[in-house]
């Protein structure tokens, strides 16, 4: 039997799931040794058997006719009523949040606006794929004129921090510090000041967005230029 | 801003049933299911994510909520040992992953799901599967290939990254 390259590549599926004949298994193993593409793809799916095993020996309710486990309890309230309850709660929290915001806004510290981020996709159009993002403007400390905007992007590994700085110092080093809920500060990015006084950098932290208490941009000597509460 | 009310309702209508299934299977507590689901949506509203890959975000949020509540429940009577918390957390994580894998299998297209069932769960060979399903062996192989790839994509979308 002659085996084309495409035939070889697709054997990866049965190689992972099992079921290749001895001859096909040998052929594919040989191919795998020299094929970068298959090696990469195998790396992405080699954990599949372990995941499939989680669904039990028969693969769970979608693969068997028998209903496994108790069914989801029936919801007696009509859907609209639950939506109304939810929106009522949103309204309540929004008012509470707004009251809290107005206190902080006096200090010009925070510009997160919960509802506002929904505007993002509408302004950018629906085709822009984006991750859950919170935007904050860091308020300059007294005597500092810097303008700093930070986007906190929720990632699988933590939080990506996209920083846009303007009117910054024009020499020395700068750093973005992340302070967690326990008050512990760690550096998430450091960069060199530019003569133009503006830069865009991206930092990263293992903290989840809701574990970040505040963000600070400091000079290399540790002077805080601006801070943002989340 | 009234504009996001509709967005919230939309997310709730679209993802509520899936979340309810996942939370129910993970907690087996009928009284908590709707509370947790609503809290998940409220958190999403509060953290205001932009809308792409919302499913993974919702599931991750539900996972955190369930784990947090589970921990709080464990702490209440008396401070639980750290080891115990870690152990029950990983059991909970496993339970959640199980539910998500089952959900993912449910979202696979039927002819791919059939191949996964034969090759993986029933330990059939490609030749046996070909006879059972009534398609050539080459088709079994290519369906197996796309089944595995699509499953990976669906799981990624649900935030199951291992």
Do A102 and A114 have their domain in common?
no
Annotate B41-75 with b (16+ C-beta within 10 A) or e (fewer). Answer: bbbbbbbbbbbbbbbbbbbbbbbebbbebbeeebe
3-state DSSP of chain A = CCCCHHHHHHHHHHHHHCCCCHHHHHHHHHHHHHCHHHHHHHHHHCCHHHHHHHCCCCCCCCCCCCCCCCCCCCCCCCHHHHHHHHHHHHHHHHHHHHHHHHHHHHCCCCCCCCCHHHHHHHHHCCCCCCCCEEEEEEEECCCCCCEEEEEEEEECCEEEEEEEEECCCCCCEEEEEEEECCCCEEEEEEEECCCCCCEEEEEEECCCHHHEEEEEEEECCCCEEEEEEC
A105 touches B: beta carbon within 8 Å: no
Do A91 and A102 have their domain in common?
yes
Q: How many residues does chain B have?
A: 162
Do A144 and A213 have their domain in common?
yes
CATH of the domain at A203: 2.60.40
Do A143 and A89 have their domain in common?
no
Do A18 and A95 have their domain in common?
no
Of B105, B121, B142, the CB nearest to A57: B121
Task: Specify if A69 maps to a domain.
Answer: no
Do A115 and A208 have their domain in common?
yes
A11 touches B: beta carbon within 8 Å: yes
Task: Specify if A67 maps to a domain.
Answer: no
Do A19 and A80 have their domain in common?
no
- ipTM for the complex? 0.75
Task: Specify if A192 maps to a domain.
Answer: yes
Do A44 and A86 have their domain in common?
no
Residue-level pLDDT, tens digit, chain A, 230 residues? 445 667 899 999 999 999 999 999 999 999 999 999 999 999 999 989 989 998 888 887 777 754 444 455 555 455 677 777 878 887 777 777 665 555 544 444 434 443 344 444 444 433 333 466 777 777 777 777 888 888 887 777 788 888 888 888 888 889 999 998 888 898 999 898 888 888 888 888 888 888 888 888 998 888 888 888 77
Do A97 and A119 have their domain in common?
no
Do A22 and A117 have their domain in common?
no
Task: Specify if A66 maps to a domain.
Answer: no
Angle between helix B54-75 and B3-27 (nearest 10): 50
Task: Specify if A65 maps to a domain.
Answer: no
pLDDT digits (tens, 9 = 90+) for B23-64: 887 777 777 888 888 888 888 777 766 656 778 888 888 888
Asked if the Cβ–Cβ distance from B47 to A85 is below 8 Å, we say no
Please give, rounded to a whole number of angstroms, the shortest distance from the CA of B86 to a CA of chain A.
19
Query: What is the domain extent for residue A86?
Result: 75-106
CATH of the domain at A36: 1.10.10.1320
Do A115 and A99 have their domain in common?
no
A12 touches B: beta carbon within 8 Å: yes
Task: Specify if A175 maps to a domain.
Answer: yes
A8 touches B: beta carbon within 8 Å: no
Do A212 and A128 have their domain in common?
yes
Please count the structural domains in chain A: 3
Asked if the Cβ–Cβ distance from B129 to A19 is below 8 Å, we say yes
């Amino acid at each position: 039997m002659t085996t084309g390259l495409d035939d070889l590549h697709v054997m990866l599926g049965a190689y992972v799931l099992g079921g290749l004949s001895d001859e096909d298994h040998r052929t594919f193993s040989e191919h795998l040794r020299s094929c970068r593409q298959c090696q990469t793809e195998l790396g992405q799916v080699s954990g599949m058997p372990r995941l499939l095993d989680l669904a039990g020996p028969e693969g769970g309710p979608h693969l068997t006719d028998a209903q496994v486990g108790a069914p989801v309890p029936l919801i007696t309230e009509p859907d609209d009523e639950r939506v109304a309850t939810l929106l009522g709660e949103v309204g309540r929290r929004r008012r509470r949040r707004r009251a809290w915001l107005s206190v902080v806004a006096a200090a010009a510290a925070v510009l997160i606006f919960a509802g506002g981020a929904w505007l993002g996709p509408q302004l950018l159009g629906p085709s822009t794929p984006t991750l859950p993002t919170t935007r904050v403007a860091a308020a300059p400390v007294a005597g500092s004129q810097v303008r700093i905007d930070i986007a906190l992007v929720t990632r699988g590994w933590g939080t990506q921090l996209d920083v846009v700085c303007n009117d910054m110092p024009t020499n020395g080093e700068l750093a973005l510090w992340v302070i967690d809920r326990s008050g512990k500060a760690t550096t998430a990015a450091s960069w060199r000041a530019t003569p133009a006084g503006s830069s865009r950098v991206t930092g990263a932290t293992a903290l989840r967005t809701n574990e970040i208490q505040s963000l600070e941009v400091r000079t290399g000597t540790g002077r805080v230029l601006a801070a943002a509460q989340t | 801003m009234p504009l996001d009310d509709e967005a919230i309702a939309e997310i709730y209508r679209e993802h509520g049933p899936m979340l309810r299934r996942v939370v129910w299977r993970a907690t087996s507590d009928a009284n908590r299911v709707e509370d947790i689901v609503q809290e998940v949506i409220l958190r999403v509203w509060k953290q205001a994510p932009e809308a792409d890959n919302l499913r993974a975000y919702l599931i991750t949020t539900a996972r955190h909520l369930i784990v947090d509540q589970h921990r709080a429940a464990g702490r209440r009577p008396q401070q639980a040992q750290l080891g115990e918390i870690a152990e029950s957390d990983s059991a909970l994580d496993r339970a959640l992953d199980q539910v998500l894998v089952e959900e993912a299998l449910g979202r696979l297209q039927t002819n791919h799901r059939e191949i996964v069932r034969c090759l993986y769960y029933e330990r059939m060979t490609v030749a046996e599967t070909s006879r059972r399903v009534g398609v050539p062996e080459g088709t079994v192989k290519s369906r197996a290939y796309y089944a595995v790839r699509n499953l990976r994509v669906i799981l990624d979308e649900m935030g199951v990254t291992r």
